Amino acid sequence: MPTMNTSMQGKICLVTGATSGIGKATALGLAQMGATVVMVGRDREKGEAVQREIKTKSGNEAVDLLLADLSSQESIRQLAEDFLQRYTKLHVLINNAGLISLRRRETVDGLEVTFAVNLLAPFLLTNLLLDVIKASAPSRIINVSSASHEAGYINMDDLQLERHYRYLRAYGQSKLALVLFTYELVRRLQGTGVTANCLHPGFVASNFGQNGTGPISRAVVNLIFSSFGISPEEGAKTSIFLATSPEVEGVTGKYFVKSIPKRSAPITYDETLQGKLWEESARLVKLPMKV
């Protein structure tokens, strides 16, 4: 019989990509600490199966599931509406869902999918939920980036990588953009009691890199990740630490690796680039320029 610790009782936490890997382990960890966990998944059957598993393993019935395809802006807007219909508080938002795509693919909104899911989805979802997050302060926003951001490069004239698509380049750019977004967000949140941090979870043996690939690539990726990767539970530790630890109460605008703040790539501290990327992201998701 699982025994729940209650240190997060009364806290509402939303985790995207909660149906697999790091996000699933994060949702379970938060449920085990007594939080109300709102999982976001894109597939009902898979989502309900993971929801049942988390309830059973944690002994916590307060595990909810909302469905959204984070590559679609309409679906993200619907997700925010669905959340706001059910909840009046949001203490922790974890933008965890992410992908890498071997080929250049476009979303229903006509955007390159890696950029759309890894940057624009967190950008839009966070902005749509910002009022309720502020009303729940002290509250925390956590963006799951990657050490790959260090190899990333942002070309504001070709963010959609229409000219030279390479999957590692697309992934590195999206994760670099997520760090830049986090730091700009922090400036805009000053004085609100809301913190925002980002992190690298480690090299984790999850389903990462296996969506939308052929059987051979999948087998290779699987072999590499299972040989060298840490477990999803280990990979979720930094997200859970940032979501729950009193040690990081009030800590904001940092990049964490293994629950320790580290310098992110020098370019991430470029405030002009942060601002430009924010404005372009707002334009691409059709958000008013107010926040």
Ligand X SMILES: NC(=O)c1ccc[n+]([C@@H]2O[C@H](COP(=O)([O-])OP(=O)(O)OC[C@H]3O[C@@H](n4cnc5c(N)ncnc54)[C@H](OP(=O)(O)O)[C@@H]3O)[C@@H](O)[C@H]2O)c1
Residues annotated catalytic, as ranges: 171
Kindly state the helix (H) or strand (E) to which residue 267 belongs, with its residue range: none
To the nearest whole angstrom, how small is the minimum distance from the Cβ of residue 239 to ligand X? 9
Kindly state the helix (H) or strand (E) to which residue 81 belongs, with its residue range: helix 73-86
Packing angle, helices 121-135 and 167-188, rounded to 10: 20
**Closer CB to ligand X, residue 8 or residue 39?**
39
CA 254 to chain centre: 15
CA distance 38 to 18: 9
To the nearest whole angstrom, how small is the minimum distance from the Cβ of residue 172 to ligand X? 11
Task: Using CB under 6 A, count the residues that bind ligand X.
Answer: 29
Question: Is residue 101 a contact point for ligand X (CB under 6 A)?
Answer: no
Handedness of CA 87, 251, 192, 9 (dihedral sign): positive
For residue 50, give Cα distances in angstroms to 20, 43, 211.
8, 11, 18
**Closer CB to ligand X, residue 18 or residue 277?**
18
CA distance 200 to 176: 11
Cis-peptide into 246, omega within 30 deg:
no
- Residues numbered 113 to 152 that lie near ligand X (CB under 6 A) are 117, 144, 146
CA distance 187 to 46: 37
**Closer CB to ligand X, residue 29 or residue 229?**
229
Region of 16-24, 132-140, 182-190, 215-223 interacting with ligand X (CB under 6 A): 16-24
Interface characters, 154-193, with ligand X (x: CB under 6 A): ----------------------------------------
To the nearest whole angstrom, how small is the minimum distance from the Cβ of residue 9 to ligand X? 26
For residue 226, give Cα distances in angstroms to 64, 146, 190, 207, 213.
30, 18, 41, 10, 17
To the nearest whole angstrom, how small is the minimum distance from the Cβ of residue 10 to ligand X? 26
Question: Is residue 208 a contact point for ligand X (CB under 6 A)?
Answer: yes
Question: Is residue 206 a contact point for ligand X (CB under 6 A)?
Answer: yes
Question: Is residue 96 a contact point for ligand X (CB under 6 A)?
Answer: yes
Question: Is residue 17 a contact point for ligand X (CB under 6 A)?
Answer: yes
Question: Is residue 98 a contact point for ligand X (CB under 6 A)?
Answer: yes
Type of residue numbered 133 = I
To the nearest whole angstrom, how small is the minimum distance from the Cβ of residue 3 to ligand X? 26
Contact residues toward ligand X (CB under 6 A) are 17, 19-23, 41-43, 46, 69-71, 96-99, 117, 144, 146, 200-201, 203-204, 206-208, 211, 229
